[in-house]
Amino acid sequence: MAKKKSGGWLESLKTVVYAGLIAIGIRTVAIEPFNIPSGSMIPTLLVGDYLFVSKYSYGYSRYSLPFGPPLFEGRIFGRLPERGDVAVFKLPRDTSQDYIKRIIGLPGDRVQMRSGVLYLNGQPVRREFLGPYVAEGDGPRMTVRLFREVLPDGRAHKIIEQTDDGPLDNTPEFRVPAGHVFALGDNRDNSLDSRVQNAVGFVPVQNLVGRAEFIFFSVDGSAAWWEVWNWPFAIRWSRLFTAVR
């Protein structure tokens, strides 16, 4: 009987180890879940969104692995993001932190903000006013302006602006160096991104973790974890399984 019991424990341990290895493998080469803790990507992503990021979209770097061990440099099967991709990356000055922003500039591009309007390579990016928008994030609710921004290749996304004369609405022209990309938040007046060179700056391509694909869960924070009876009302049902664009 004792021998049988020992064998049972061994089989259980093997199952746990195998399951762990499979989970690490999926997280490394396929998809990884992330949650949104701040409002820098409103209106595309809201605080309380949970999404899946594809790890294979830009190839693999050391940061594709848990804890980012320095096993190799650069990227394997690497390819650049497309302008407009929403991507997760490791913060250049502190790679223990994950950031998620929209990739706006590719290597060699010139990026500038003038009175709230994005300029790419000297040309203004079309911005269409859609109306007022009530923003709820990690601060007080406020009514801002909602725009549709159309990139040179025709790809469109939504952004919000409180003002066109904020600290980040007028910048010098940034030239994206080789091997780097330029990232902006969709909440243009409340985003720490590549415009702030001493905080984020240009993002090395090696730091890219993956592309945001779709939201699989979303809660508005109105119910505490123990308020089981309120859970159904806190879920943003309309956001579940929606693509990130």
Catalytic residues: 40, 101
CA 113 and chain centroid, separation: 21
Find out whether 204 and 180 touch, Cβ atoms under 8 Å. Answer: yes
Token output for 239? 């956001």
The count of other CB atoms within 10 Å of the CB of residue 188 is 25
How is 76-126 classified by DSSP, letter by letter? BS--PPPTT-EEEEEETTEEEEEEEEEEEE-TT-EEEEETTEEEETTEEPE
Residue found by looking up tokens 């990016």 in the block: 125
Among 106, 110, 95, which Cα is nearest to 63's? Answer: 95
Find out whether 228 and 244 touch, Cβ atoms under 8 Å. Answer: no
Rounded CA separation 123/150 (Å): 12
Find out whether 114 and 15 touch, Cβ atoms under 8 Å. Answer: no
**Termini Cα distance of the chain:** 59
Rounded CA separation 82/156 (Å): 12
